[in-house]
Amino acid sequence: MSVAGVNVAGMTQTTQHQAPPVPGLTDRDAGTTAEPAPRVALAGAVVPDHASPAGAVLPGVSPDGIAPGVSPDVLTPDAPTPDAPTPEEAAAPVRRRAAISPSRAKDFRQCPLLFRYRAVDRLPEPPSQAAVKGSLVHAVLEHLFDLPAAGRTEQAAQELLDPQWQELQASRPDVVGMFAGPEDLGAWLAEARSLLTQYFRMENPTRLEPAEREMLVETELASGILLRGYVDRLDVAPNGMVRVVDYKTGRSPNPRFQDEALFQMRFYALMLWRLHGRVPARLQLVYLGDGRTLTHDPVEEELVALERDLEGLWESISSAARARDFSYRTSKLCSWCSFQSLCPAFGGEVPPLPPEGVEHLLTVQGV
Across 13-17, 107-111, 320-324, least confident range = 13-17
For 306, residues 6+ apart whose C-beta sits below 8 A from its C-beta are 266, 267, 270
CB 79 within 8 A of CB 214: no
Under the banding of pLDDT at 50, 70 and 90, the label for residue 128 is: very high
Say how far apart CA 299 and CA 152 lie, in whole Å: 34
Strands 292-296 and 31-32: unpaired
For the beta carbon of residue 301, count every other beta carbon within 10 angstroms: 8
Under the banding of pLDDT at 50, 70 and 90, the label for residue 7 is: very low
Say how far apart CA 348 and CA 339 lie, in whole Å: 9
CB 61 within 8 A of CB 263: yes
> Which position has the higher pLDDT, 3 or 233?
233
Strands 282-287 and 5-8: unpaired
Say how far apart CA 21 and CA 27 lie, in whole Å: 6
Backbone φ, ψ for residue 245 (5° rounding): -120, 135
Strands 11-14 and 282-287: unpaired
For 183, residues 6+ apart whose C-beta sits below 8 A from its C-beta are none
One-letter amino acid at 68 equals P
Say how far apart CA 58 and CA 247 lie, in whole Å: 10
Under the banding of pLDDT at 50, 70 and 90, the label for residue 109 is: very high
> Which position has the higher pLDDT, 117 or 2?
117
Backbone φ, ψ for residue 295 (5° rounding): -125, 155
Q: For 201-227, what is each residue's pLDDT tens digit?
A: 999 999 999 999 999 999 999 999 999
Q: 3-class secondary structure for the chain? A: CCCCEEEECCEEEECCCCCCCECCECEECCEECCCCCCCCCCCCEECCCCCCCCCCCCCCCCCCCCCCCCCHHHHCCCCCCCCCCCHHHHHCCCCCCCCECHHHHHHHHHCHHHHHHHHHCCCCCCCCHHHHHHHHHHHHHHHHCCCCHHHCCHHHHHHHHHHHHHHHHHHCHHHHHHCCCHHHHHHHHHHHHHHHHHHHHHCCHHHCCCCEEEEEEEEECCCCEEEEEEEEEEEECCCCCEEEEEEECCCCCCHHHHHHHCHHHHHHHHHHHHHHCCCCCEEEEEECCCCEEEEECCCHHHHHHHHHHHHHHHHHHHHHHHCCCCCCCCCHHHHHCCCHHHCHHHCCCCCCCCHHHHHHHHHHECC
Radius of gyration over every alpha carbon of the chain, rounded to an integer in angstroms: 20
Under the banding of pLDDT at 50, 70 and 90, the label for residue 242 is: very high
**74: pLDDT strictly greater than 60:** no
Q: What value does the mean pLDDT of the chain take?
A: 81
> Which position has the higher pLDDT, 308 or 33?
308
What average pLDDT does range 113-140 have in this prediction? 96
pLDDT, residue 6, reads 29
